Structure 1
Amino acid sequence: MRRTPLFIRGRFKGPSLQLCDLAALALRQSLEVPSRLLMGPGPSNAHPRVLAAQALPLLGHMHPHFFKIMDEIQGGLRYLFQTDSPYTLCISGTGHAGMEAVIANLLEPGDKIVVANNGIWGERVADMAGRFRAEVVQLRAPAGKTFSTGELKAALEEHKPAALFLVQGESSTGAHQALGDGLGAACRAAGALLIVDTVASLGGVPFLGDAWGVDAAYTGSQKCLSAPPGAAPLFLGPRAIEKLRGRGTKPATYNLDLNLIGDYWGWFGKRSYHHTGMVSMWYAMREALAIAGDEGLEAMWARHSQAHRDLWEGLRALGLEPFVEKDADRLITVNTIKVPPGIDFAALTAHAMANFSVEISGGLGPTAGKVWRVGLMGANATPASVQVVLAAFRAGLAAQGWKGAQAAPATA
């Protein structure tokens, strides 16, 4: 039996035509993006200079002038990570790509890694390491808690791993992990690499890569650097490079193979094509790093700390409490706030968005339904942003009859 052709006299005969027309009609309208103050755990609002940089003309990803921009980014990353290591670059992707690149390149099948797991990012690294056939040992701490240096040193002595993984700023719980006090030296003595996730912390709190003996770290562009999502800055120290170059097997990923990406960034004395670099995103990163350099790291850390103090002065006036009990364990860039009994956390976040155009997030992973999360990162770590957040909490709590919202001063 002869079938009726789909196209008759140039016209498509089928139900998809109407759907295509509707889609085309929507795309003919001008793109509209609402203005939001992004005060959740990320992304934060991008700095206007960073957004403007992305509108500059495109260059070829192998052009000499573009290589110069990449070199300047590497220099900015050395300042940001506080390292003299020449092995800095940006992975094309978000913080997850940085995480996977470090795990895939620094662990071989059968290598043992101790993962200090006190939130969702420890869970994900344990999952990733297992997928790359590493032997995973998990140290667990309750949500909101951190690990003592003694606990970590004892784990190094007991398990003798190839690597120890820590999250400096666990954004799912609001916990800040200490990294000093001889931990890096202990890792060296044990023959273990010290790997650190700084996605929610770098630029907002002190991080001293070389001084603390960190071997590898990565972060994300969209947090304290106030750039759009899409770049995962990382650095490898000399011991990590030795591990990478001395592997007995190739990394089980081509796209994230740091031998190949490193070649593209000039790590090994040459430039080899690996993938098309994210030209406009690298403009944004170059500008974000320039802004950080103009302000200075110590000033950045102080600004984030002051915003944190201002926020909690106002939240406590409302009768709200921090989820992380100890001051020393509290992350200042992603603040976790206990949801009081009888309060609908989701209703408050919806009220904040509808009435203040401000994003306040709920919990994630072990804190889902238990906390609100307020990010104070990059260009958003300012007195003005804090006041908008406090006003949104005050109004949202008052709408639910929270007594503290009635008593708190309007200028808290």
Structure 2
Amino acid sequence: MHGPMKGISVTLRFTPHLIAAVRTMSSTTVPPSPALLQPLNVPYRLLLGPGPSNVPPRIQAAGAQQVIGHMHPEMFQIMDDIKKGIQYAFQTQNPLTIAVSGSGHCAMETALFNVVEKGDVVLIGVKGIWGERAADIAERIGAEVHLLTKPPGEAFTLKDVEKGLSEHKPSLFFITHGESSSGVVQPLDGFGELCHRYNCLLLVDSVASLGGAPIFMDKQGIDILYSGSQKVLNAPPGTAPISFSEAASKKMFSRKTKPPSLYVDMSWLANYWGCDGKPRTYHHTGPITNFFTLREGLAILAEKELRLPTVTTVSVPVGYEWKDIITYLMKNHSIEITGGLGPSAGKVFRIGLMGYNSTQANVDRVLDALRDALKHCPKSKI
């Protein structure tokens, strides 16, 4: 075969291996799915559950941008913007502030995997499913886990926590700020100071509350704080802001053993996010498009200073089956709300009004839809 440039001749020799490869590609035994040969069709839904929330046009536009290389200087600038946006949202000056490439669950594991070692004593505040998840992760690490429990719908007091700290002497105390499974916002004032008095780090989950309920990482003495992108920030799921105080960083980087996960090892991630003052090196391919959308979600938060309650829980009316009402709203009104989670399962509805969805029109729409559902859904006569 002769090339297009004059005077240059290129000869291709087809070896048996190459011919076999070509023949294999042209004679598939598994045909493509007919569905994949059709255009993607995503129906519109008003997402008034506890997350994800609807994505505003500005963030959709960010997600439509062409990708760039994950190690390009322009990408690093966007990551720096994200870091500053998280510092504003968290109200912290912590240098070690990043976004994990994963969901809020991934951030929970990042926090626990890096700060907790086998044999460490950990106290977990459980008032819903997220405390249960944190306890599960800590147990998998091999920590000595103690539970501080409250019934769903209640919050911990300083007296409750001090009793647990005094009894168990933990190195870490976990608590959920916005417990979306029961709809409770946990007051945090005084908790950091109390934990530090007992030489204990304070770890706070703010996945469902960040941007909707006030939280001040530095002023409240929070050592590790994490959240998610898909709630009030209105970005797609897949990135999770997290920040570590100086005390948390010191414990993390003086551990005796490596974290059980390379993917969320903060010694690597700190470098990838430019937090250690060294040239950035490859750790993993970050979710570039998700970083674009997270950056815009944080920018909108900074511009509008959103501070609204996020998830409202409503008791299921007596005599009604919760699944019937949720199904009716989706089928007849294209509205998503969800049922309870964990200890609140089957007892409540969870209605999310977060960021872009926090409008009077959406409140009226979901109330009208609920009235309609109560008229048409069967009610038990028992």
TM over 0.5: yes
Q: Does 1:172 align with 2:184?
A: no
| Correspondence 1:79-228 to 2 at 5 A | 79-180=88-189, 182-228=190-236
Distance in 1 (alpha carbons) for counterparts of 2:76 and 2:337: 39
- Aligned AA for 1:341? V
Map of 2:295 onto structure 1? 286
Q: Tell me by how many angstroms 1:188 deviates.
A: 1.0
Q: Does 1:28 align with 2:37?
A: yes
The structure with more radius of gyration: 2
1:382 aligned to which of 350, 355, 359: 359
List alignment gaps of at least 5 residues for structure 1: 1-6, 305-331, 403-412
Q: List structure 1 segments (4+ residues) > 2 angstroms apart after TM superposition.
A: none
Amino acid across the alignment from 1:138: L
1:246 lines up with 2:271 in the alignment: no
Letter of the aligned partner of 2:91 in structure 1?
Q
Q: Say if 2:239 is the partner of 1:262.
A: no
Deviations 1:55-107 (A, max 9, x none): 11211111111111111110010000000111111100000000000000011
- What SS class does the counterpart of residue 172 from structure 1 fall into? coil
Find the counterpart in structure 2 of residue 366 from structure 1.
Answer: 343
Q: Which aligned pairs between 1:326-341 and structure 2 lie closer than 5 A? A: 332-341=309-318
Compared with structure 1, are the counterparts of its residues 11 and 168 closer, same or farther at alpha carbon in structure 2 (3 Å cutoff)? closer
Letter of the 2:343 partner, please give it: P
Contact kept in structure 1, 2:49 and 2:351, CA below 8 Å: yes
Q: Is 1:348 matched with 2:325?
A: yes
Q: Per-residue displacement from partner, 1:133-185 (whole Å, max 9, x unpaired)?
A: 111000111111111111111211221110010000111111111100x2211
| TM, length-normalised to structure 1 | 0.84
Percent identity over the alignment is: 46
Amino acid across the alignment from 2:260: A
| TM-score normalised over the length of structure 2 | 0.90
CA contact (8 A) 1:195 1:214 kept: yes
- Could you tell me how far apart the structure 2 residues matched to 1:183 and 1:25 are? 56
CA displacement at 1:401 relative to structure 2? 7.0
CA-to-partner distance for each residue in 1:98-135, whole Å, 9 max, x for gaps?
Answer: 00000000111111111000111000100000001111
Distance 1:215 1:373 in 2: 29
SS of equivalent to 1:374: strand
Query: Distance between the aligned counterparts of 2:320 and 2:300, measured in 1?
Result: 40
In 1, Cα distance between equivalents of 2:43 and 2:78: 32
Cα distance in 2 for partners of 1:75, 1:335 equals: 30
The one-letter amino acid paired with 2:222 is: V
Q: 1:153·1:183 contact (CA, 8 Å) conserved in 2?
A: no
**TM alignment of 1:394-405, pairs within 5 A:** 394-400=371-377
Q: Which runs of 5+ in 2 are unaligned?
A: 1-19
Match of 1:63 in 2: 72
Q: Secondary structure at the match of 1:53?
A: helix
Cα displacement (A) at 1:24: 3.3
